[in-house]
Amino acid sequence: MKLCRHGPPGREKSGLVAADGSVRDLSGVLAELNGTTDITGSALAPRTLAKLKKINPDKLPKVSSRARVGACVGGTRNFIAVGMNYADHAAETGSEVPKEPILFNKAPSCIVGPDDNVMIPPGAKKTDWEVELAVVIGSKARYVEEKDALKFVAGFCICNDVSERSFQMERAGQWMKGKSCESFGPLGPWLVTPDEIKDVQNLDMWLDVNGTRMQTGSTKTMVFGVAYLISYISHFMVLEPGDVITTGTPPGVGMGKKPPRYLRPGDVITLGVQGLGMQCQKVVPFA
């Protein structure tokens, strides 16, 4: 099942993707089932998702193809990112492969739709791209064992972990300063339930800038796999339904190019992960 959210920013409604790729409005059905029109919190519970899977999308109202697609999950309280989680990415940046996951926060306020503009913030000099697999939590997770971790997943989606390297690497303090600027967290287009993903640790990933391939990779080269990350993080904090974990990027980021190549206004970023769809963002100056 592929879920999505459609409508203007801040007023998104839930959608279900039909076999022909069209988006169908799920908000009426979801309101009857769960008392909400949006894909947030309790709407991600296993019981609710099981009921939604029985729905025939073709019987739902069709959403205009011109409608904006929003981030595939709403109401996210914790947006957690994993650094240097691909050995080949660590190598291109001159970093050691970590012995434990490197965790940092992205502010939930940076979350935008998959095709919304990416804004370069004031004072930025080195805005970079990162295609990533993201995990959306469906059930409260605390002190979870690795063998049980995937039971807590509502679905998977694409994240572009947009990063301002000068804020991240050249200013004192935590990485989150370079990771949380407005529009730095495109999510979606779809929230794909785990039953549609044969092997989450064997998904192809790619990212282009202006039609030129920058990143090519696979989740099979992760240092720490999805199940391990969920278990690990749940020992330091409670994961709530709707929380997002973005799991790291393969090689090919702008910082690792020789010479480095960073985003400029007018650039177009396209990216995808196997089975999870595609994103496309135009880079614009801050307004």
Q: What is the pLDDT of residues 76-107, one digit of tens each?
A: 999 999 999 998 888 887 778 899 999 999 99
pLDDT for res 99: 95
pLDDT for res 97: 87
The answer on 151 and 97 residing in a single domain is yes
* DSSP assignments along 59-123, one per residue: GSPBPPTTSPB--SSB----EEEEES-BHHHHHHTT-PPPSS-EEEE--GGGEE-TTSPEEEPTT
Number of domains in the chain: 2
Identify the domain containing residue 125 by its residue range.
79-285
Q: How far is CA 145 from the centre of its chain?
A: 23
The answer on 193 and 103 residing in a single domain is yes
The answer on 164 and 51 residing in a single domain is no
The pair of structure tokens assigned to 62 is: 């069709």
Is 185 domain-assigned?
yes
Is 74 domain-assigned?
no
* Mean of pLDDT values over 31-52: 94
Residue pair 38/72 in contact by the 8 Å Cβ criterion: no
> What mean pLDDT is reported for the chain?
96
What angle is formed at CA 32 by the lines to CA 27 and CA 37, rounded to 5 degrees? 30
The answer on 269 and 208 residing in a single domain is yes
Name the CA dihedral angle for 97, 101, 102, 106, rounded to a multiple of 10 degrees: 130
Give the CATH number, domain containing residue 83: 3.90.850.10
Give the confidence band of 137 by pLDDT, cuts at 50, 70, 90.
very high
pLDDT for res 107: 98
The answer on 197 and 92 residing in a single domain is yes
Is 64 domain-assigned?
no
The answer on 20 and 136 residing in a single domain is no
Rounded percentage of the chain residues whose pLDDT exceeds 90: 92
- Global pTM reads 0.97
CA atoms 132, 37, 68, 112: torsion sign: negative
The answer on 245 and 208 residing in a single domain is yes
* Mean of pLDDT values over 147-169: 97
Is 72 domain-assigned?
no
